[in-house]
Amino acid sequence: MSWRTVDESDLAATLSQSEVDMYRRDGAADGSDRISTLLAHSVAFARDAVRQGGRCAALGPAGTLPDALVPVVMDYAMGKVLTALAVPLNDDRRRARDDAKAYLERVAAGEIAIPSYGIDDETSTGTSAIEVVTSSRLRATPPLIEGI
């Protein structure tokens, strides 16, 4: 699984292009592109969930998601767009939004591991998944374990 950036085409795969255009047309108060801002916030939210869950050895480059999380994050973003537009969610869209939120909550709780496939060593956290601990002071010898 590789990590990649998301763009408007990912969102347009979940929403209709007219809904995406309507969201953009409403515009942000500061003049920024609402779609870019929404995608950046949604990706940051998902990356925080992955980081919080602690079950991913290394995150991809900043602003990226693993391929498997892209549809989940787009369903989450779809809910944000439709809520902002005051468009009622039908049952399928409501279920998709709720499933996306629940999935990300499970990732954050550490119930779902997100693999780090495709991450360069430079992006690694630098820690080993296994730590070998040795001690020469305590050895299990027959006199010590007698009666156990």
Local confidence pLDDT in tens for the 148 residues of the chain:
689 999 999 999 999 999 999 998 887 677 788 999 999 999 999 999 999 999 888 899 999 999 999 999 999 999 999 999 999 999 999 999 999 999 999 999 999 998 877 655 444 444 445 555 555 566 666 776 776 6
Q: Phi, psi at residue 125, to the nearest 5°?
A: -70, -15
Q: Report d(CA 61, CA 66) in Å as an integer.
A: 10
Q: Read off the pTM.
A: 0.75
In single-letter form, the type of residue at position 83 comes to T
Q: Ramachandran region of residue 27, left (φ > 0), alpha (ψ -120 to 50) or beta?
A: left
Q: What is the pLDDT of residue 58?
A: 87
φ, ψ (nearest 5 deg) of residue 4 = -150, 165
